[in-house]
Amino acid sequence: MGTALVADDDKVFAGSIPQFYDSYLVPLIFEAYANDLAQRAAASNPRAVLEVAAGSGVVTRAMAPRLAANCEYTVTDLNQPMLDHAAKMQGADDRIAWRQADALALPFTDGEFDAVVCQFGVMFFPDRIAGYGEALRVLQPGGEFHFNVWDQISANEFADVVTQTAAAIFPDDPPQFLARTPHGYYDVGLIEEELRQAGFTQIAITTVAETSTAPSAREPAVAYCQGTPLRNEIEARGGDMLDHVTAQAEAAIAERFGAGPVVGKIRGHVVTAKP
């Protein structure tokens, strides 16, 4: 039950994706949840923090100012281009060690950290129970695992519109990255069950609703079409289709949310698990 249906290309954040991801997606949907997760993780005043699947470093930038001066903060991601981008954006900080690492086979000793953090990353784990087991293994007794996941795509309006637009353009082979992976792991009952299978015993799940705002429909269209692996799916259907799908998504968002600044609903689940 822990094996997710994650396509190989769903994990490829390469080329110009990290730049578009950070420039467009981070302010659009990630910053509010990064601040929320960082606040929860820092509340226990941890002395050794591990971040897995750090992406472009939005949680790292929110977490670092909240941690003590003597805290050791290890930031990891499977994808080296994203990790390089995160380190560049963060700047110098002697407390932070950057390391490429697989969340399913962490290169750390048992009980090395008192907090493990993962923002919108567990959906990409090929085996979530194995990933949860690794988080548990490297946690000290009494440590905390904090992570979040997106709710179903219908509760996240811009992503839903983009997915429907792409499906209309490619009806015989609709690109389903957003629905399949980022928004494919929203069942809180399943999340709790898999955490318990991995060995966690204390689990709290909170659903957090936010709003996603942008100066125009262009920003969310570019964010999702060009700043996520949806780009890989679109380009695989024709090298000249990326701009076309982006333009159509922009038009669809403008039709639904207006021609000026746009506001859409977003919703995610925030999880704290303890041994």
- Summarised one tens digit per residue, pLDDT across range 87-138 is 999 989 999 999 999 999 999 999 999 999 999 999 999 999 999 999 999 9
> 245-271, pLDDT tens digit by residue?
999 999 999 999 998 999 999 999 999
Here the tokens at position 243 are: 């701009």
Beta bridge partners of 207: 269
Phi-psi sector, 51: left (phi>0), alpha (psi -120 to 50), beta? beta
Question: What span, in angstroms and rounded, lies between the C-alpha atoms of 155 and 266?
Answer: 6
Q: pLDDT confidence of 9, banded at 50, 70, 90?
A: very low
Instruction: Spell out the domains of the chain, with CATH numbers in brackets.
Output: 8-274 (3.40.50.150)
Cα separation, 139 vs 50, whole angstroms: 9
Residue type present at position 166: A
What pLDDT, on the 0 to 100 scale, is given for residue 72? 98
Q: Give the bridge partners for 72, in sequence order.
A: 48
H or E element, residue 18: helix 17-20
Q: How far apart are CA 44 and CA 240, in angstroms?
A: 50
pLDDT, one tens digit per residue, over 128-164 is 999 999 999 999 999 999 999 999 999 999 999 999 9
> pLDDT class for 18, splitting at 50, 70, 90?
low
Token pair recorded at residue 269: 């689940």
